[in-house]
Structure 1
Amino acid sequence: MRKRIFILFFFFGSLLHVFGQQRQSLTDYFNLLETQFNCTFSYEDAALVTHIYSGSETATALTEALTELQETTLFDYRLLEDNTVTVTPKESREFCIEILSAETDQALSGAIITTSYQQVVTDKAGRAVVNSLIRSTPISVTYLGYGKQSAVLDAATPRGVCTVFRLSPQAEALNPVLLTNFITKGISRKADGAVNVNYDAFDILPGLIESDVLLTLKELPGIQSVNETVSFLNIRGGTNDQNLILWDGIKMYQSGHFFGLISAFNPNLTKEVDVYKSVGNARYGDGVSGVISMRGSDEIITDFKVNAGFNLLSADVLAELPITDKLSLEVAGRHSLNSLLNTPTYESYFDKAFQ
């Protein structure tokens, strides 16, 4: 038990040490001390605009905090009887810094220059002034899109002469991002830009009662149907005849039944589909607007299975027949129900088609 308490104490002590060393505005640290020790800091606001504090924040007494400030900032501190702390600048040396681009030699406005005392930003001419007490002052220069550069300012530099830093552009390589479960489970983005739908791992979509290919694709961004039918899809604003539809590599010329209100593809036979919007593989030469490449199962069936279903429009059946160790057969069919009865759904589809 004592060992565990010691480990926890060491862990939280390390955290306090890390957070206690964070860089912050000097005026913000003054406000923190005023709240903690019920004191008042008297200073000129303009003199502290660029100054920072990066020392410890674990002081338990005001005098201890002032000693730390005296050693790590460019100011002298005097504690008066009424608990007021006067802040006066020390005598320091000013250094002129100029930041240029290494490629174009143009001034970089907005570059950040950081020392242990200050953090300043360059003006339109790429220049800024920093103050220092010691003879050699470490300095770092950063600018968005450019590599960081560090150096040491030398007190031997003549006054009025700017120390020039030339920053080189730095390219950032982004890690590739692969989206899985895009919109819902079973939909993902591939490295070549295609949207892949795997119906073996497919989850439910709003308003979708079966894993129909074309109904699924209508839910993807950039794909819609302007005439509100199933088979006439508009990909990225293109027309339906500008889409290349393939089923196991075979070009499909007819994608719908009942004037496009019903998909022509049996949902049980399609296992996977790749959708290319606007751009795709070079082998899909006919797809000006988009490519819909459907694939069935390519595995040998080992177990006999029968899958049947129906809705208020049609009934379908799929039989998976193993024949030998190297041969199997899939038999599928679908038939409408209007030859037996006219359902309310069929009546609604009929009215929409012939309105």
Structure 2
Amino acid sequence: MLVSSADYLEPRIIQTQSVCESLERLPELPVRILVLSSVGVEDPSRRGLAARLERRSSELGVGAGVVIHDAQFDKWDQLLQEPGESRYDAVFLRPSSLPADHFEQDRPADHVMDRLFGLLGDLCARFWLVDPEPNAGDEGALRSSEARRLALCRTLVGRGAPPAIMPSCSWEPDELARFHEDFFERALHDSPLPLAVGLATGSLDASASVVVPMGSRHGLDLGRLLENHRSRIDAASGSLAMLHREMEAVSALDGVNAGDVRAALAEDALQRTRRLDLVKDACDEINRDRDPAGWSRLSANIQQLAALESDIVQARSWIRSERGF
């Protein structure tokens, strides 16, 4: 389905001149989402987000294709001491406050920026979302809080952090909660990040902001993983054809039990061809559907191909040993 800019509220895009190394890496499965919240935040939009995302994931039929981890932090300098996993593709950050620099109230404290920048790099995050403070105070305090949030995003992305998403501070708690879930769904549809944010904003009366580095790989970029997988299938097809020719050369040799060897090699060739055909057919179906439910199937499909690739390598090694190479 084609979507025009008239169908959604376009986000405010802030482009930096930086390059994010995490976005150059080939995406992996399952998609890992980290919900990281301040301890003791009572805003309704901040309660149960991980559970809501898991429920939406289940409704989409994603299954094992997505893993969601919920964590809390008390102090910024102790932000996620034990992440649980070495990789998280997206971080939903929900602070109760954003400490200001000692001399500039519109700038975050250095230890906040340094700790968050290091964490995003360690987790190989592809994007992160930072919510507004739930109780920023009067208009002046809110203005300062928003200035710090924007400075945080621009500074970190400018250093090489992944794209940052800033939901509007004018949204009501239920609107923010709805945005979280709708954005999560759009991201799983592998929409480019600005489009995912815009579509998730829907009919809300204010747009979100997105701070991006240079390039166009902004989002989960799972389509690139699928294309890489299809290339590997083509390569495996070539390797399998070469293996079959080598097996024919071995089966042509005379010797004890030559007939049994030829029959066994022919059966092996047939089984490998069938396995590759199954992988191809499943990949074609995933590529045709391009929906969130396909990512768990893609993960299994990649594992099946890897097993076949390993089998081909072992078979060719056996042939070389039989021929005295």
TM-score greater than 0.5 by the shorter chain: no
Q: Would you tell me which structure has more helix in proportion to its own residues?
A: 2
Q: Would you tell me which structure has more strand in proportion to its own residues?
A: 1
Name the TM-score, length of structure 2 as normaliser. 0.22
Question: Computing the radius of gyration over CA atoms, which structure comes out larger, 1 or 2?
Answer: 1
